[in-house]
Structure 1
Amino acid sequence: MNKPELKSLYYITHIENLPSILQKGILSHKKVDELGVSYTPIYDSTIVSKRKDKSTPERNSLWEYANLYFQPRNPMMYRVVNEKDKRDIAVVGVKPEVLNISGCMISDGNAANDPTNFFSLKEGLKILNQQWKIIQSDWWKEDDGSKRKIMAECLIPEQISPSLIHSIFVADHKAKERVEQIIGSAKISVVPESHIFFLPRSLTRISSNLSLIDGDMFFSHMQTLTISVNIQGIMGKGLASRAKYQFPDVYVVYQDACRNKQLTATKPYLYKREASLDQELADLSFPLATPNAIKWFLLFSTKRKWQDNSRLEDIEAGLNWVRNNYREVGIQSLAMPALGCGLGNLNWADVGRIMCRYLHGIEIPVAIYLPREHQIDPNYLTSDYLLM
């Protein structure tokens, strides 16, 4: 493979800037100043200033380039959507032919970060090929460099022609309607793509406190996230594997809870983590003004041994513990996967009904994240079925 399969590159902006972009193109900061173009910023001024002071090997300021991401769902986007209204943000999709523009450069990470290197197109594509798995990943972390690398950029001198824009991506259908009004008769596709903006693909309300969600649980706004585990202290696959990679401290606490018999087949263990998830996930070229998102982790046994199938009776007992103890332990809101429905080989038709029976009516919001391994019959997703 000589180069990654590039279908699009991406530019993050405020929707009020779209008419100007569709008329003049995507401009560098320097070009915006020279032309006196009025625009609505989405980035903190300190972030923008840092890019002005950073130079490429050609000794040109980053302000002299229009910058595109290869992956828009990245730490910078996470920061933007947590500081702004998601419906104010648009992602402009740009044709890969933009790489043919003379002077194009590629960075192997966030261009404003000190460890980042800059490359010509030919060498840059080789680097992208090596880290393409990271760029296409759904998560990242600081200490292995993936948080920086997932923000690899394409830098284009001065401006990108509007003829290279193929689509505009927005958070939802309301944002789509708003953008279509703003851009008027411009013939460009406006596409709701919630996943880019860290939103669920779908949300179905089952009761006053209970929702079914198709999405990424690790970006849930709930206070407590549930991780399906076994009681052997082994995090090998699925959500547990991701938790082990992304939050090493969770893995250490989990192993201790197994050793000390605090986590059993019928009793979950609550880890009251104190670190801010926003601090870990957002681009921190400068500190967040109001970091939050302190997350707790509920370690919920769905298997006794890692190679076993899940047992419905164990899951039911664990849910009973949650129902009886959530107030006492301080859980204020709860996100849960479909317990045992992935690697545990249980059926949603059985598990969904049991989960809803125990979680319906408790005095906190609960989000159940649907299994993604296979399609679920819509009849098993209704309140009539689940709350029967």
Structure 2
Amino acid sequence: MPEGGTFMIFYETGSILNAKSEAIVNPINCMGGLENGPMLLLKQAYPENFIAFRRACRLRKVKLGRMLVIPLSPREGRGSDPRYIINFPVKKHWRHHPKMNHIREGLKDLARTCAQFRLHSVAIPALGCEPGGPEWKEVQEGIMDTFRNANPIRIHLFPPPDVQ
């Protein structure tokens, strides 16, 4: 367990859909635009999340720094599915580049949200690590700094595919 003893990090590869966690973090924009990566995977696997996300965008309820939590319905025979999708706004518009200050602000709310929902595990992709966005190392440090003093939690971290 890392310094502080409050969280454990598990580095994962492959699809975030295979994470054994209570919640999956979905990097989104505030305008409702569909993007490649985790957002597209989660739209296909959990269409109810995408519908709720688009509705919240139309109502202007999606804001940088604030998580949009969508509870998921249990699926027959699939006991390992997550209970929540935590939509994490990383940028205002789908055409914009993510900024590290928005990700840091969001990470604070993510930690608060995990505590509020009493989560024991969460899967987090490489938030905002796309061309023009922050570097993985900076995002990884932000995640570590944020959760160092948070409630105990297991973090299943999915670095970008090109990072070893």
- Normalised by the length of structure 1, the TM-score is 0.38
Structure of larger gyration radius? 1
The CA deviation string for residues 66-112 of structure 1, in whole angstroms up to 9 with x for no partner, is xxxxxxxxxxxxxxxxxxxxxxxxxxxxxxxxxxxxxxxxxxxxxxx
State the shift of 1:236 in Å. 2.7
The residue that corresponds to 1:63 in the other structure is none
Count of residue pairs brought into register by the alignment: 159
Opposite residue 305 of structure 1, the aligned amino acid is H
The residue that corresponds to 1:327 in the other structure is 115
Out of 307, 316, 327, which is 2:95 matched to? 307
Aligned-partner SS, 2:11: strand
Aligned-partner SS, 2:12: strand
Aligned-partner SS, 1:215: coil
Which structure 2 segments of 5+ residues have no match? none
> Quick check: 2:122–2:153 contact (8 Å CA) kept in 1?
yes
> Quick check: 2:99–2:133 contact (8 Å CA) kept in 1?
no
The separation in 1 between residues aligned to 2:9 and 2:106, in whole angstroms, is: 18
The CA deviation string for residues 146-187 of structure 1, in whole angstroms up to 9 with x for no partner, is xxxxxxxxxxxxxxxxxxxxxxxxxxxxxxxxxxxxxxxxxx
The separation in 1 between residues aligned to 2:125 and 2:26, in whole angstroms, is: 8
State the shift of 1:222 in Å. 0.4
The residue that corresponds to 2:16 in the other structure is 217
Which structure 1 segments of 5+ residues have no match? 1-204, 280-287, 377-388
> Quick check: 2:20–2:81 contact (8 Å CA) kept in 1?
no
Out of 241, 265, 269, which is 2:64 matched to? 265
State the shift of 1:355 in Å. 1.1
What does 1:24-39 correspond to in 2, within 5 Å? Answer: none
- Normalised by the length of structure 2, the TM-score is 0.86
Q: Please state which structure has a larger fraction of its residues in helix.
A: 1
> Quick check: 1:302–1:314 contact (8 Å CA) kept in 2?
yes
Aligned-partner SS, 1:358: helix
Backbone CA RMSD of aligned residues: 2.0
The CA deviation string for residues 211-250 of structure 1, in whole angstroms up to 9 with x for no partner, is 2222321111101001111011111311111222222211
The CA deviation string for residues 275-297 of structure 1, in whole angstroms up to 9 with x for no partner, is 32xx4xxxxxxxx4xx4124210
The residue that corresponds to 1:238 in the other structure is 37
Aligned-partner SS, 1:335: strand
The residue that corresponds to 2:154 in the other structure is 365
The separation in 1 between residues aligned to 2:136 and 2:32, in whole angstroms, is: 26
Opposite residue 350 of structure 1, the aligned amino acid is E
Opposite residue 221 of structure 1, the aligned amino acid is K
Q: Percent identity between the aligned chains?
A: 17
